[in-house]
Structure 1
Amino acid sequence: MATALAPQRTRECIDACDECAVACHACADQCAQQADPQLLACIRLCLSCADACLACLPSLARDANYEALCRACAELCDACAAECEGYEDQTMRQCAEACRRAAQACRQMAGV
């Protein structure tokens, strides 16, 4: 997804956000298939996190006004990671790891 023209740190953030969105969608889908009402919070967080990650991509690619988006994305990624880390499921653990990587990359881009 990252462009060859973007600086390395920006490319890393784009890649981390892209990977996080994919992992969050996979996690939400798996949770939805289980039809367990206790997983509703996880599904919602995963979908919100994926939305935030995907919203960052155009601004990062343009190198324009991404700081506020990246801060918000990092917060959602942290919340999603915390939720998914509470489960033993491999898909949920992978989601949490992707969320942590995206949160760190977004904080770096936002200068936080």
Structure 2
Amino acid sequence: MITLSDDVKDCIAICTRCAQTCLGEAMTHCLEKGGDHVAPAHFRHMIACAEMCRAAAAIMLTGAGHHASVCRVCAEICEACARDCEQLEGMEDCAATCRECAESCREMAQ
């Protein structure tokens, strides 16, 4: 059985929450709001963030120890998504979740 540190477990939980938030917001709030919320660049950020967070959580769950690079990229994508979301109405929770995930992933990347 794989033993994961509490820090890794916390990051997995945060990444999972961020993936769910970005995908959920993209598929509900953004699609329903329309306009800039579904602009290709923004929508791509949302989906890329969801997928990268999902992948980072999965890599950490393997316990293989190769998560530093994945977490570094995840932090970069989460930051970009947060900046994008901060520019749009009603995306504050998504931006905050992305920032939290970016911070946690930066710590895992060290």
Runs of 4+ in 1 over 6 A off after TM superposition: none
Q: Where in structure 2 are the equivalents of 1:1-112 lying within 5 Å?
A: 5-29=3-27, 30-36=29-35, 38-39=36-37, 40=39, 41-64=41-64, 65-89=66-90, 92-111=91-110
Tell me by how many angstroms 1:86 deviates: 1.4
Q: Secondary structure at the match of 1:15?
A: helix
Q: Does the 8 A contact of 1:32 with 1:43 survive in 2?
A: no
Post-superposition shift, 1:57? Answer: 1.5
- Contact 1:16–1:105 (8 Å) recurs in 2: yes
3-state SS of 1:6 partner: coil
Q: Give the match's secondary structure for 2:88.
A: coil
Q: Please tell me the residue identity of whatever aligns with 1:107.
A: R
CA–CA distance in 2 between the matches of 1:69 and 1:97? Answer: 21
Aligned residues: 105
Q: In the TM superposition, what is the alpha-carbon distance from 1:59 to its structure 2 partner?
A: 1.4
Identical amino acids, percent of aligned pairs: 35
Task: Output the TM-score relative to the length of structure 2.
Answer: 0.88
TM (norm. structure 1) is 0.86
In 2, Cα distance between the equivalents of 1:55 and 1:83? 21
Q: CA RMSD in A?
A: 1.5
CA contact (8 A) 2:21 2:94 kept: yes
